[in-house]
Amino acid sequence: MKIKWFSLIRILGLVTVLGYHFFVKSFPGGFIGVDIFFVFSGYLITSLFFIELEKSGSFTLLTYYKRRFIRIFPPLVIMIVTTLPFTLLLPSDFRANLAKQVAAAIGFVTNRFEIQSGLSYEAQQTPQLYIHTWTLSLEFLFYLIWGALLFILVFWLKKQGYTGKKLLGQTRFIVFVLAVLASIASIIYLEVTFDPKYLSYSYFAFASHAYPFFIGAIIATIVGVRISDKQRAQFSNYPVKKILLWSGVPILILLLLSIFGKFESIWTIRTNLILTSVLTAILIVQFRILHERTTSPEPKILTVLADTSYSIYLFHWPVWLVISHFVSQVFLAGVLSFIVSFTASAAVYYGVEPYFHGKQPAKWMMSKPFYGGLGVVVLVGVGVMLTAPTLSKTERSLHEAAISEAMVSLDQKGQLGQNLYDVGNNINANTSWYNPDAGFNTSTDMRLKQSTSISDKILNSSQTVLGDSVMVGVVPYLATILPDADVDAQVGLNYDSILNSFEKRVKAGTIGKYVIISAGANVTSDMTADVQKIIDNAPKGTRLVFVTPYNGKNKVVLNEFNTYLKSLPNKYKWIVVADWASYIEPQENLLWADKIHFAGKQDVAIDYLNLLAQSLNEVAKSKGKP
């Protein structure tokens, strides 16, 4: 039984997700569309369960699993197979670990990738082609667990002698209780385990993000796809104005959440997504009533978009990565990505999927050119996976920078570290840092053509450098201008960890008189507060240099933060801002594909060090913190 206007829920979820991925500046909170899908999925699956139970008086678990598998797996495989060859159009960084990405996608474990990355889509170093399939990981687990629970419940009730309407009524009540308890348990788990420094776990883990499915299941026990005659009579008299009000307001709030929400905000995961689930549940009820209040069919375009929404979701992300790489105009790239995704999805839904449902396939599917073309695509895709690099250039450069950083540290420890240094030198010889032509084949004679030298006043004082992965790539060069600096630079550090490192040094009395802080690419929700704490806790006489972070794929949040940083020197005469973001933005093509890092690129590192040197010399003119 097809319910009119349910298409609007699917389309709302699709539009917000596409808005987030295509036009993130305008829809930074559009990822709430995923939760809209989750709620509707929980509702639909549970409603179909009740329909089967009412019709047959039983629930066949294997048939249920088969239906779910056929619905989600074939389109997924088709999307992967047809998009793999197009990855050859992208830089090799996009194909790093491609075989593992594909395995994770078809194995429904991509959410583990997201948990490990700890980032939003827009903050990944190099976007993974199939990372959006993390949603299928949660869907798969829900189908698996919920289906098994429903089967066990029906089996147990039938053993107790329940049949017919009594079986249906008792099952509905217990499912309602189970769904309520599961929703509450998931939300409690989310709140208890929530860590603002580790947002990805709360967002991508099933246990803390299962509640939307169960909220949808709750609604299915109250207002399912099939309703009673009593409910139908009640709905037929329900005022249309109320429907418009109780559907219009939730839609407006959801749109506002997609426009003003941010992944990095702690309230997004702790409250906004829960609110999204509740609002979606209200919409399901309102549109179910609207189905009974209207006689005319919904517009065909809504039906088509709703039918193809799953496949559009599957195709849109890899299609967007390819098209946006060649089309710099964001709006045009978004429109083209939608057109291509919709076309491919329509072909899959109306041409290919019927075959898996036992229906007559489209004629073009039975032709020799189709099979020949499919064979070529599969062979190319397999070849792409087999030849894909294990590490991206960005990752490789950071690993090499870390090795070189360790070499510099060992070289400074004197004879005691010489043996380790010799061992490390053999490793270092195989990295891009070991380059005699560049003039720094060992850390002893590592020299760069600096246009700005550090004043003796600074060199004769103490210096502390705190930074993230960007600074990791600079450390081997940094030793040439600040050989005695206390450096703490690590991949993945954010302002929370920088603040912690700063406070430990202040407490121990080891913080330098000159402090350089280079972080922010790993965005947190309270960076400005952390900066203010650093300023407040800095000892008297301290001089601070803040480096503006740059991420070409996450400019919205960082531009706001950098504006704040650049306002500090007006208030504090002992603070100088090294505006790296403004310097590198016009020439971001000099960075690696992630548009953040430049480890191993000597010319860019020289520019970065010149900026640091100029800022240090400038802040040295001040008397320090009063």
Q: Which pLDDT score is estimated for 250?
A: 96
Q: Tokens 């972080």 appear where?
A: 519
227: pLDDT strictly greater than 60: yes
List C-alpha distances in Å: 523 to 122, 198, 343, 418. 11, 11, 36, 38
* Mean pLDDT, residues 241-269 taken together: 89
Q: Mean pLDDT, to the nearest integer, of 293-301? A: 89
Q: Is 50 exceeded by the pLDDT of residue 80?
A: yes
| Residue 117 predicted with pLDDT over 60 | no
Q: What's the rounded Cα separation, in Å, for the pair 446 and 480? A: 7
Tens of pLDDT along 123-151?
Answer: 455 568 898 999 999 999 999 999 999 99
pLDDT bucket at 396, cuts 50 / 70 / 90: low
> 358: alpha, beta or left, given left = phi > 0 and alpha = psi -120 to 50?
left
Nearest to 443 by CA among 412, 487, 481, 464: 412
Place of tokens 């099952």: 171
491 DSSP assignment = T
Q: What angle do CA 228, 233, 236 make, to 5 degrees?
A: 125
The number of C-alpha atoms within 13 Å of 159 and in the hemisphere containing its C-beta is 6
Q: Which residues pair with 518 in a beta bridge?
A: 467, 547
59-62 long-range contacts, CB within 8 A, separation 24+: 59/150, 59/151, 59/154, 61/147, 61/148, 61/151
**422 neighbors 126 (Cβ within 8 angstroms):** no
Q: What is the pLDDT of residue 427?
A: 44
Token output for 456: 């003796």
Q: Is the pLDDT of residue 421 over 50?
A: no
- Tell me the HSE value of 523 on the side-chain side, using a 13 A CA sphere: 26
Q: Is residue 535 scored above 90 in pLDDT? A: yes
Residue 305 in 3-state DSSP?
Answer: helix
As a 3-state breakdown, the chain gives helix, strand, coil percent values, each rounded to 5, of 70, 5, 30
pLDDT digits (tens, 9 = 90+) for 165-183: 999 999 999 999 999 999 9
User: Amino acid letter at 387?
Assistant: T
Contact 111, 205 (CB under 8 A): yes
Residues 575 and 568 sit within 8 Å (Cβ to Cβ): yes
Q: What is the pLDDT of residues 443-472, one digit of tens each?
A: 333 344 445 678 888 988 999 999 888 887
Question: What's the CA gap between 61 and 40, in Å, rounded?
Answer: 21
Q: pLDDT, tens digit, for every residue of 376-390?
A: 888 888 888 888 777
pLDDT of 492-502, one tens digit each? 778 888 999 99
pLDDT given for residue 423 in this prediction: 45
Q: What is the CB neighbour count within 10 angstroms for residue 355? A: 14
- pLDDT more than 90, % of the chain: 50
More confident residue, 143 or 473: 143
Q: Which two tokens stand for residue 364?
A: 């073009």
Least confident range of 257-266, 325-334, 405-414, 541-550: 405-414
> Which DSSP letter does residue 417 get?
G
Taking residues 87-95, what's their average pLDDT? 83
Cα-Cα-Cα-Cα torsion 318, 321, 322, 326, nearest 10 degrees, comes to 170
Average pLDDT over residues 67-92: 91
- Position 377, amino acid: V
Tokens of residue 448, six digits: 């760069």
User: What would the mean pLDDT of 557-564 be, rounded to a whole number?
Assistant: 87
The CA radius of gyration of the chain, in Å to the nearest whole number, is 29
Cα gap 514→457, rounded to integer Å:
11
Q: Is the domain defined by 455-621 classed in CATH 3.90.950.10? A: no
Higher pLDDT, 354 or 415: 354
Residue 441 has pLDDT above 50, yes or no: no
In the three-class reduction of DSSP (H, G, I as helix; E, B as strand; rest coil), residue 543 is classed as strand
pLDDT band at residue 256 using 50, 70 and 90 as cut-offs: very high
What's the burial of 164, exposed, middle or buried (CB within 10 Å: 0-12/13-18/19+)?
exposed
Torsional sign, CA 583, 588, 592, 597: positive
Mean pLDDT of the chain: 85
Separation CA 82–CA 19 (nearest Å): 24
Q: Where are the alpha helices (DSSP H) in 327-392?
A: 330-347, 353-356, 368-387
Q: How far is CA 99 from CA 83, 111, 374, 415, 443, in A?
A: 13, 16, 19, 45, 37
> Stretch 520-544: mean pLDDT, rounded?
89
Where in the chain are all domains bearing CATH 3.40.50.1110? Answer: 455-621
Closest of 77, 71, 75 to residue 381, by C-alpha: 77
Task: Please give the structure tokens belonging to residue 516.
Answer: 């350089």
User: What pLDDT was estimated at residue 567?
Assistant: 94
Confirm if 215 and 285 have CB atoms less than 8 A apart.
no
